[in-house]
Amino acid sequence: MSHSANKELILGIMVGITGISLLLLWYHKVRKPSTAMNLPKFLSLGNAYDSMTLQDEMHNDQGRQLQILEKLNELLTNMEELKEEIRVLKETIPKLEEYVHGELGGKTATHRISPQHRARKRRLATVHSSGTSNSSEEAESEGGYITASTDTEEQSFPVPKALNTHAEELNLDVLLRKADNLRAKETSKTESFELLDDYKEKFRDEVEFIWRFARAYGDMSELSTNIQEKKHFANIGKTLAEKAVTRAPMNGHCHLWYAVLCGYVSEFEGLQNKVNYGHRFKEHLDKAIQLLPEEPFLYYLNGRYCYAISKLSWIEKKMAATLFGKIPSSTVQEALQNFLKVEDLHPRFSKSNYMYLAKCYIDLKQTKEAMKFCNLAEQLPCVTKEDKMAHEDMKKMCTAFKG
């Protein structure tokens, strides 16, 4: 038997003996005086008491017994509470020791988060949250990554177990190719993120690594179904992307993923911050298009932006302009040109792009063209979560056409 087990056994025996001793001591104190006083009196009087007096005496005795039972029950309850407090104390002491050790060592507790809530242990960037307003404030941590602030206490989430089983270290080029190849499959995005996370300290200053790591955090935000996790991943990713833009202002991928992550973060912000992030999104998206004019994904995002702006009502635009200044304007025709540009650069780019092409043509009263892209969309598989949503919208549109 281990030393700790012996200590627990001895502690348990001591608690048990103490409880029994207290129980006996209390019982003698309560029971003996009443017995010494009442029993001799009852015997000496013999038949002098009539039946009513005897019943009264028996009734009083029963009342004292009930009081004793109630006291015993109260004592047993207190004993159970004491045992529970001892159990909690034994569980807390090791954690307290770890906490004190961490505080003295100047270490920050590491947050662990998983998009699938799987209890797999692994290191992740430290996150603290602070919510004095609707906006999220981020600061770069000691490791070069993010510490965020919220209005709640620190939370610990389970994190995916490391899938990195390679025997030798990968150089930067090989690592980036491997991460890109894994990300190409929707089912391997988590693995791509974990691979990059394994090398975050080694390549923390490499721009090509940083924007990919930011992109991976965006993927995790999209994959997660937990609101706090989504927000956590989005905030870290945005901070990494901002760091990449600062270090490489002429790298289009840095601007692209900073724009995307601003969009993700805006989902958790108030109206004013949503508008501010919208301005940032458009600013960096336009810059990315200048630097990467042949990237179809950029035109898809721009088309989505133009379409959303074009669908704002007059009153919505007027209110936003009054509250937050000038609001950009756009038209369905502008959105259509962007979606067509995507198809030109990358035919069969995605089911979602076909869906938006169909929507634009419906708005422009060109039913024949809209039906054409509905049919094309049906031929493409559902690869991403966005594709699945687009598929449902396409079915509704096709049903409306046929009706």
Instruction: Please give the CATH superfamily to which domain 169-293 belongs.
Output: Tetratricopeptide repeat domain (1.25.40.10)
The more confidently predicted of residues 113 and 331 is: 331
Gap between the Cα atoms of 149 and 146, Å rounded: 10
Does residue 330 come out as left (phi exceeding 0), alpha (psi in the -120 to 50 range) or beta? beta
Gap between the Cα atoms of 213 and 254, Å rounded: 11
Angle at 245 between CA 302 and CA 386, to 5 degrees: 35
pLDDT digits (tens, 9 = 90+) for 239-273: 999 999 999 999 999 999 999 999 999 999 887 78
Per-residue confidence (pLDDT) for residue 162, from 0 to 100: 45
Whether 332 and 310 have beta carbons less than 8 Å apart is answered as yes
The more confidently predicted of residues 1 and 320 is: 320
Per-residue confidence (pLDDT) for residue 44, from 0 to 100: 36
Gap between the Cα atoms of 63 and 49, Å rounded: 20
Class of domain 294-402: mainly alpha
Whether 220 and 115 have beta carbons less than 8 Å apart is answered as yes
The more confidently predicted of residues 175 and 402 is: 175
For 35, the token pair is: 């017995």
Quote the DSSP letter at residue 110: P
Per-residue confidence (pLDDT) for residue 109, from 0 to 100: 39
Gap between the Cα atoms of 34 and 119, Å rounded: 62
Residue type, 1: M
> Where are the domains positioned within the chain?
169-293, 294-402
pLDDT digits (tens, 9 = 90+) for 375-400: 898 888 888 878 888 888 888 877 77
Per-residue confidence (pLDDT) for residue 54, from 0 to 100: 43
Most confidently predicted of 60-74, 112-126, 212-226, 262-276: 212-226
**Mean pLDDT computed over 76-100:** 66
Per-residue confidence (pLDDT) for residue 101, from 0 to 100: 54
For 199, the token pair is: 């090398």
pLDDT digits (tens, 9 = 90+) for 33-77: 443 333 333 333 334 334 444 455 555 666 666 667 667 667 767
Per-residue confidence (pLDDT) for residue 66, from 0 to 100: 63
Element (H, E) at 283: helix 271-291
b/e sequence 87-107, b meaning 16+ C-beta within 10 Å: eeeeeeeeeeeeeeeeeeeee
Per-residue confidence (pLDDT) for residue 95, from 0 to 100: 60
Which positions ≥6 away from 41 have C-beta within 8 Å? none
Task: Flag whether the pTM goes above 0.85.
Answer: no
pLDDT digits (tens, 9 = 90+) for 276-312: 898 899 999 999 999 999 999 999 999 999 999 999 8
Q: How many CA atoms lie within 13 A of 254 on its CB side?
A: 18
**Three-state secondary structure call for residue 226:** coil
**Mean pLDDT computed over 101-109:** 48
> Quick check: 235 pLDDT over 70?
yes
The more confidently predicted of residues 8 and 89 is: 89
Per-residue confidence (pLDDT) for residue 22, from 0 to 100: 53
**Mean pLDDT computed over 137-166:** 41
Per-residue confidence (pLDDT) for residue 12, from 0 to 100: 53
**Residue 322's pLDDT band (boundaries 50, 70, 90)?**
confident
Per-residue confidence (pLDDT) for residue 124, from 0 to 100: 39
- Nearest to 224, CA basis, from 121, 383, 116, 384: 116
> Quick check: 128 pLDDT over 80?
no
Per-residue confidence (pLDDT) for residue 146, from 0 to 100: 41
**Residue 275's pLDDT band (boundaries 50, 70, 90)?**
confident
Gap between the Cα atoms of 297 and 193, Å rounded: 20
pLDDT above 90 as % of the chain: 42
Mean pLDDT of the chain: 74
